[in-house]
Structure 1
Amino acid sequence: MILIVNAGSSSIKFKLYSIEGKTPNALVEGLAERITVDGALTIKVGDQKHEFDDKMSDHLEAVTSILNRFKELEVIKNEEDIKGIGFRIVHGGDKVVKPVELTDEMKKVVEENIRLAPLHNPGALTAINAFESKMPKAKLVGCFDTSFHQTMPKEKFLYPTPYSWYEDHAVRKYGMHGISYDYITLKAAEMLNKKIDDVNLIICHLGNGASICCVKNGKSLDTTMGLTPLAGVMMGTRAGDIDSSIIQYISKETGMDLNQVTDALNKESGLLGVSGISSDMRDVTTAVEKGDERATLALDMYATRISDYIVKYANYLENKVDAIIFTAGVGENSAAAKKAVIDKVKLLNVTLDDTKNSQGYDDYLEISTPDSQVPIYKVRTDEELMICNTVLKFL
């Protein structure tokens, strides 16, 4: 079996796969949360959901609880049934360009990049150490959200700031959602019956956090998120790109300090900030249908910013685009959001089939009309499966 782990400072999200067949088969998924507070563990086996109030004072206790409950639910006989563990890690800096075995040296890299991902890397590192302590025979593999984007050329990842900021403080664009983009790129090559090195894509990963990626010859040429996930397009609660002087201006106007302003841009902006209703696209589009002006404004701004990047990236690809792909929660499921975006892409002759745009699907579905200049797809991303397949290669 292979266990996939996505850990935060007080949570461990996990999914367990059997690798006995030709393809990995998901057996169990769950979440350990409120670690260091009191603890809550949810494990879903098939259609059965099990909830436990296990005390978890730290990540090691959380790992112990997860493994004990696996045995209690007869998912595993013992820890050694799990041959490999794949960890989703947000930031690998500019040194990690592909998945790696988590040796002591690589754990130091995760630790060094805490300065670039202070909210995410500490939890990942703590979980890695906890699982290593409990399962010393399992192979530990790290998959980084930033590594897919390390193929960006220097003119794309550098900011026009003092060059010493890059040399001395690692200020540059890193990008996020790389595991998802890697999965979608491979899936697109399969869908389009092309070699991976021949695939040119514009991928819109639209969830509560959102980014766009320009894929040229199967590799990331550019992406919208930057040094942090705050950059790029408008998101659920994040502002995306703004005039950076707003931070100083609002600080002077309101007395808010730097951290407070940055928190507001991360947690109180985007769809939530403009609509005043919700960060959830479902709530916003429902309000749009009822004629709410601010919700309509929010959706319009959201779609405009995404469509602008689609046109920009089509230019980067010299208009040789094999597909525009929508993925993640909003991209996969919100017909209204996709329509709002595509309606604003004026320089490309792209059109949606409204019926297919609203149609249910399992894996992927082409949603453009036959005369669309570029085919448009909605594709279910699967970061856990991508990590699982990566661990399988290491094994």
Structure 2
Amino acid sequence: MILVVNAGSSSIKFKLYDISQKNNPISLVEGLAERIKVDGALTIKMNDKKHQFDDKMDDHLMAVKSILNRFKELKVIENIEDIKGIGFRVVHGGDKIVKPVELTDENKKTIEENIRLAPLHNPGALTAIEAFEKGLPNAKLVGCFDTSFHQTMPEKSFLYTVPYSWYKEYKVRKYGFHGISFDYITEECAKIFNKKKEKLNLIICHLGNGASMCCVKHGQSFDTTMGLTPLAGLMMGTRSGDIDASILQYMAKELNKDVYEITDILNKQSGLLGISEISSDMRDITNEAFHKGENANRAYLTLELYSERVAEYIVKYANHLQGNVDAIVFTAGIGENSSVIRSWAMERVKLMNIEIDKEKNEADYDLYMEISTPNSDVPVFKIRTDEELMICKETLKFLK
């Protein structure tokens, strides 16, 4: 079996896969250990049934032991040694890690070095890695990094127009995120189009509470919207996306706050929530806009702003690809499920002839569905991403 882990400073999200049929990993259970260092709560979903436990978790190691003990109690595993590999989602690998790696001491040191670039995410990942290393000492530990897929970007894509010394001395550059999802979608498109990955040109819209887009050229990341941090690029659930950098100085003075406090507002009180003043959830905003709630006008404006930003990047990335685009793909929570955002975004792409099939756009689907008509210059798809499965498959390669 392979265990896939996405850990934070006080939580461990996990999914366990049966890899006995190596080309077709099967999900057995998934769950969440949370409130670590507070009191502890563990939820395990298995066979459409949810099991909840109030296990004490003073630290990540206690959480790991709790997860493994409950696996045995629920008869998911007979022996913890059946878990041969653990794949970790790690947010930031900097510019040194360009693909999934075994989590050696050297690679763990790289994660630690990049805490300065991802202070909210890398510490929790590192703590969980060390806890599982103690809890499952014989398992192979593999790290899959959100930044690694984007390390193929050329300098003209990743450099900022700031003093070059900032890049050389302080690593100020665009790194990009959601790379595991973009890699998964690229591989899925290779299957859908029966085309070699290195021949694919895609524009992928990973639209969730955190949102970013990627220009995939010849199967590799050529450009992406997120930057040094996940704050850049698109408007998101609570993140502003791109703004005039001088706003920080201006609002720090106006509100008598420091740059850290203003940045916190841009991360946690902006985007959909900031503009709509309704919610950070696209479903709430869409419902308010179309059911004429008291804030319908503001909700409608929020949808327009969001769709416009997505459309602008689609046009930019189509230009990067010189119009040679195999597909435009919508994925993640909003991208997979919001027919409004898909149709509104594509309506605003004026430089390509794109026609959305209303019925297909609104239809239920399993893994993927083309939503454009045959009249379109470029096919448009909605595809369900699966970052956990991607991590599982990458981890499996290290076991062979």
Q: Identify the TM-score tier after normalising by the shorter chain.
A: over 0.9
1:134 is displaced (CA, Å) by 1.1
1:252 maps to a residue whose letter is K
1:341 maps to a residue whose letter is A
Equivalent residue of 1:325, what SS?
Answer: strand
1:290 is displaced (CA, Å) by 2.5
The aligned counterpart of 1:74 is 75
| 2-structure distance, mates of 1:123, 1:212 | 26
The aligned counterpart of 2:280 is 279
The aligned counterpart of 1:317 is 321
Equivalent residue of 1:123, what SS?
Answer: helix
1:285 is displaced (CA, Å) by 0.7
1:164 is displaced (CA, Å) by 1.0
Asked if residue 265 in structure 1 is aligned to residue 269 in structure 2, the reply is: no
| 2-structure distance, mates of 1:36, 1:258 | 29
The aligned counterpart of 1:308 is 312
| 2-structure distance, mates of 1:296, 1:266 | 22
1:227-306 correspondence to structure 2 within 5 Å: 227-291=228-292, 292-306=296-310
The aligned counterpart of 1:42 is 43
| 2-structure distance, mates of 1:17, 1:64 | 18
CA RMSD of aligned residues (A): 0.6
The aligned counterpart of 1:376 is 380
CA deviation vs aligned residue, 1:230-265 (integer Å, no higher than 9, x gap): 000111111000000000000100112211111110
CA deviation vs aligned residue, 1:333-389 (integer Å, no higher than 9, x gap): 010111111110011111110110010111100000110110000000000000001
| 2-structure distance, mates of 1:372, 1:271 | 30
CA deviation vs aligned residue, 1:243-302 (integer Å, no higher than 9, x gap): 000000001001122111111101111111101101111111111103411111111111
The number of aligned residues is 395
Equivalent residue of 2:335, what SS?
Answer: helix
| 1-structure distance, mates of 2:264, 2:144 | 27
State the TM-score, normalizing by the size of structure 2: 0.98
The aligned counterpart of 1:136 is 137
The aligned counterpart of 1:60 is 61
| 2-structure distance, mates of 1:139, 1:71 | 20
Asked if residue 360 in structure 1 is aligned to residue 364 in structure 2, the reply is: yes
| 1-structure distance, mates of 2:35, 2:260 | 24
| 2-structure distance, mates of 1:270, 1:341 | 17
4+ long deviations beyond 6 Å: none
Name which of 327, 339, 343 aligns with 2:343.
Answer: 339
2:360 maps to a residue whose letter is K
| 2-structure distance, mates of 1:367, 1:259 | 43
1:362 maps to a residue whose letter is D
| 1-structure distance, mates of 2:343, 2:288 | 16
CA deviation vs aligned residue, 1:60-111 (integer Å, no higher than 9, x gap): 0000100000011011112101000000000000000000000011100010
Equivalent residue of 2:86, what SS?
Answer: strand
CA deviation vs aligned residue, 1:18-37 (integer Å, no higher than 9, x gap): 01124100000000000001
CA deviation vs aligned residue, 1:121-171 (integer Å, no higher than 9, x gap): 000000000000111110000000000000000011000001111111110
Equivalent residue of 2:377, what SS?
Answer: coil
